[in-house]
Structure 1
Amino acid sequence: MDKHLAGGRGGGGSRGGGRKSGFYRGGSSNSVPSSSAPPWRHRRSDHTEPVTGSQAISDPSPSIPEQDTKSEHGFIAPVLIGTCPDMCPEKERAQRERLRDLSVFERLNGNLGRTSPSLAVKKFCRTMSTLHMQTSDIRPPSVLQNTLKYLLGLLESTSHPFDVVHDFIFDRTRSIRQDLTMQQIINEQAIDMYEEIVKFHITSHCKLARYSGKSDESSLYYLNMEQLMKCLLSLFDMYDTARRSKGVIKNEAEFRSYYVLLHLGCKIPTMGNSLSLWFCRIPFSILQSEEMCLARTLLRYYRMGDYKQFFSTTATGASHLQSVHKH
């Protein structure tokens, strides 16, 4: 799904109503911009070749050996299905207790060397080996959903500065994406989780912008932007795959409009194709949606320098998540 990511950071549920559907394994997608010459492919980093055996793999796009089997509905089911029942595998919890490697949110009664299954959340791992991968180290979709719901609940925390909260959620949501990728899951649950993670990065984008003048907080701002873009592109790839079997996904227009709004003065990472070419490649129904029409109108006013119309349109037509980009 995702591209190559920067190295993991040490600080480091979603909507529970997502229905389970068949797993998908599609070909490359031509409807989203890419950061490199080869077309986008599912469950593979844009900058790496497939990895098997004991080679190291990088989140969140490790490749799994091609041993998939057909499900009863004709879709291809993943060979690797996680069995970990907790937010963090027991083996990792024990190791991190020994190393006293626990976030402030994971410490039992504030003890740096003690945690519990209800507090510890699996960390993002920069590299791992497929040779030694065990199903007990991977969380299934239901556990990942509950984990995401728990993490996003921490956004309301007032006990710690936002950058501390963001650092923890930033790392642990990358781990969620990694577990989804390891299992090669593209279904409604996975799409739902990616949408929630995108919303987290959008909210963080707005809050971290207030600190963009300070070096430490500024780096968090750009790291957050990088992951926001990668999450969006992975989400678009999942939309394209799902559409081949069931048509338009209910939130697709909304989340594609966010990609357009990111061009309102933001220094976003270069993603290859121009925005005009990207418009040509998305479905016509999405292009004509209310959300996309609003986003394109705002972008046009912004580029024309017609800020009176820009802010007037924003005030009357934009949702909360769309309006965070107007700063």
Structure 2
Amino acid sequence: MSHKLSLAIQSDEVGESVRARYTMTSSILRAMLYSSNRNMITALGGPEKITLEQLARVYQEGTGDFGICFEYALHDSIRARHSSIYPIIEDVLHSFCKIKGNPESILFGIEKNGNLNVVETARNSLTDDARVLAGKVGKPPFLKHRVAVLERAFRSVKHRDRLPQSISGLWQADLFLGSPTAEQWVGTTLKVNREELKQAPGLRVGIFPSKTKEGPKRDEAKNLIICPLPYRSDFMVLFGASFQIAKQLMHANANMPKAPALVYEDDLAVAEWLSARRKFPVMAILEALHPLMQPGLIKADQSAESVAANNVNAFAPMPLID
């Protein structure tokens, strides 16, 4: 069964920085929620029930926090056609991977601490004929029915031998980037530093923040198409500011952070709005943020593209496709 996809196409630049921060901070808080200790979250009623105040108390800072939040923010921004991200991803898929059609992102959400499994989203987002391009000679392997194997391979070494050699490292993917119409996808790894990008069979694209101005290119040594994101672009600046807001809220137990933790008016406005709602469930807060986004930031446009039913990220509090 298939249906038409309503594409969210960006029509205006991000204008009001406060509203842009609302959008990005919601992605970051969602990442923090689903990467926190599963047992503690369950004891408090599960992801749908836990309040922002409770999340702040159970949230434990980890060395991979920035990376996990970066994954969620980038995934959501690709789906929202963020102006400083989408053209870069489009160039990588069209020019380097030869995948035509409107780029989409699938979050392969096996969180690195093992507390969250949103692999079901990946299964529901893929058609039966979807293939993963591994950059090898031969017919690309089907992807959908291998998602469960990839999940087990992430958790157990013994299952990695059950993957075809061409995609034996695909379990390390953070996102799948591709096109629903072309039914072609590439395993994508996200790292905070370029030096952390590693070659693995099945991984084709490596994304990282870059302090230098450079475009996508093929790295023969790593066998990856590397995709630098300008560190001083509006996306990375916005992500950095929003990440700081969320971290300071967690540190303050969801109360309003004291000066000098946050000093800029835009950051203070977002933190104040969130802290005032600390007694409410996190998911309800994220849903309430939706009307506060900048009007015209995304524009719904009917497309002939079709994908399998249930292709929407099951954990997205704010629908990016209708």
TM-score by length of 2: 0.25
Using CA pairs below 8 Å that are at least 6 residues apart, which structure has the higher relative contact order? 2
Bigger helix share: 1
Give the structure with the larger strand fraction. Answer: 2
